[in-house]
Structure 1
């Protein structure tokens, strides 16, 4: 899959594409319906997706940013798994946000990306002040030589599947309900960081990953870990800021049960199976260690009865 971060208006795009456009945070079942439509245009058109970094809502709400379901790396890996051949992950800033809707379509969608077929949701908005809608997109398509396909919302339990709905479920610890909307268990991936190795001194060595900030959930979870030769390996993880040790940055720390390998620098995916509790600040490391032992025992019981979803 080709990853394109910048479009150059003076450079001709490659092969013409079938393009879906949006934020695609989470790549849930609603997003997957859009992707299925562009995949259905192959081999005549290259199936492609256009998204933006940072999320537009984050740019305009910097004082209270929207929680992220996935970071750029997770989105790239998931797009590749879904079969897309080209991913436009464009840098979103205030100048980009100020683009007139017609200019956005002409310069970015057509000249930049080479779109000949565009697939969007019925509520798709674009351009400065979100002034563009699907009717304007269709009119511009007639002028500029691309067709438009509008996909109706995908619903579950009589409500539209959306990223914001999934964020609320994850924040409430309703992982099964979130998985039903995602089409898979919720997971975060990344490269294992070298940390302070505090967990090892407490008898709980961990692998540390940097989550998207702010993450859509926090607390202690029963998890399964895959990658680097592991396949749904059981473990327990904390996603938070580690208040007991005066931590300030978000970190995802996972302890793998009955494992003693070296995973530094390796790519892992951590799948959240059940929330055990919220993150707490303990009086001292001894109290925290006792609770970690309780958490690990509970996670083992949860995962022993857990059905692995591949």
Structure 2
């Protein structure tokens, strides 16, 4: 998959795609339906047009963290779905200030040379969100690209949405989140240096930051881990603690992952960690031995939860 960060100056090979357009936070089953419709809409390479940062981050920069995926995780998921061209456009004052007509002409038509554009029924675009999916149909008719509006995808009367996924994760309902996403919720990113307490306790962990991401329920999880970079590109089972480490008086939330049956240096490597089963809430223990005993019990619980995963 090729990733582009601008809509101007693209080579001919990067133009003329059939585009699915939206934010695609979480890449849930509703998003996948839009992507599948774009795939079927035209005899052209499959592309996704999205924005970085998320428009909500641009308009409310001090707001609470809400994203299900960082840009890296989203790109990895889209690549797995067979997307050939990813247009991750910088959402700035310039892009936010384009009228719907200017966006359609400058970005979709002149810049990307879109063969076709597919959006969900609730899609809005352009300055002050004045453009609707129906607006896009008319603009496409004028400018020479086709448009498909896909009805919102639902199951049992409930629409798939990033908001519903966030709520499930907030409550620790990982399997409900998986049903809406169509895949396990994953936290992806670089392994950073921590306090190395896990190693001292006999349970070495890979530490990952949660900056800008929606926080699932704090606690301990059974996880599946893919090592994405470096010489040890393997898939492992593991146990992870998501929280603020109350035992040590720290309060910046991060993810600490212990990989079962793995030995190797993970610092600077990139991991993809799937939250499979919530095991227990975060807790503060009377002493270090009680914490060590609980970690061992958590590891056994995680192995049981992951049987067959």
8 Å Cα contact 1:192/1:267 also seen in 2: yes
C-alpha distance in 2 between matches for 1:239 and 1:163: 20
**Structure 1 residue 229, shift from structure 2 partner:** 4.0
TM-score by length of 1: 0.89
**Structure 1 residue 161, shift from structure 2 partner:** 0.4
C-alpha distance in 1 between matches for 2:189 and 2:239: 17
CA 1:160–1:230: 2 relative to 1, 3 Å? same
Q: Which residue number corresponds to residue 159 of structure 1?
A: 158
8 Å Cα contact 1:21/1:119 also seen in 2: yes
TM-score by length of 2: 0.90
Give the alignment partner of residue 294 of structure 1, picking from 293, 297, 305. 297
8 Å Cα contact 2:70/2:213 also seen in 1: no
8 Å Cα contact 2:192/2:207 also seen in 1: yes
Give the alignment partner of residue 230 of structure 1, picking from 230, 234, 245. 234
Give the alignment partner of residue 275 of structure 1, picking from 269, 275, 278. 278
SS in 1 for 2:199: helix
Q: Which residue number corresponds to residue 178 of structure 2?
A: 179
Asked if 1:49 corresponds to 2:18, the answer is: no
**Structure 1 residue 77, shift from structure 2 partner:** 0.9
5+ residue gaps, structure 2, are none
Q: Which residue number corresponds to residue 307 of structure 1?
A: 308
Asked if 1:117 corresponds to 2:116, the answer is: yes
The runs of at least 4 consecutive aligned structure 1 residues that moved more than 4 Å come to 10-13, 281-287
CA 1:68–1:280: 2 relative to 1, 3 Å? farther
**Higher mean displacement: 198-207 or 208-217:** 208-217
**Higher mean displacement: 172-181 or 250-259:** 250-259
SS in 2 for 1:293: helix
C-alpha distance in 2 between matches for 1:156 and 1:166: 14
8 Å Cα contact 2:166/2:214 also seen in 1: no
What is the number of residues matched between the two proteins?
303
Q: Which residue number corresponds to residue 20 of structure 1?
A: 20
SS in 2 for 1:115: coil
8 Å Cα contact 1:41/1:47 also seen in 2: no
**Higher mean displacement: 275-284 or 135-144:** 275-284
**Structure 1 residue 59, shift from structure 2 partner:** 2.4
CA 1:215–1:193: 2 relative to 1, 3 Å? same
C-alpha distance in 2 between matches for 1:99 and 1:12: 23
Asked if 1:94 corresponds to 2:132, the answer is: no
**Structure 1 residue 100, shift from structure 2 partner:** 1.2
SS in 1 for 2:134: helix
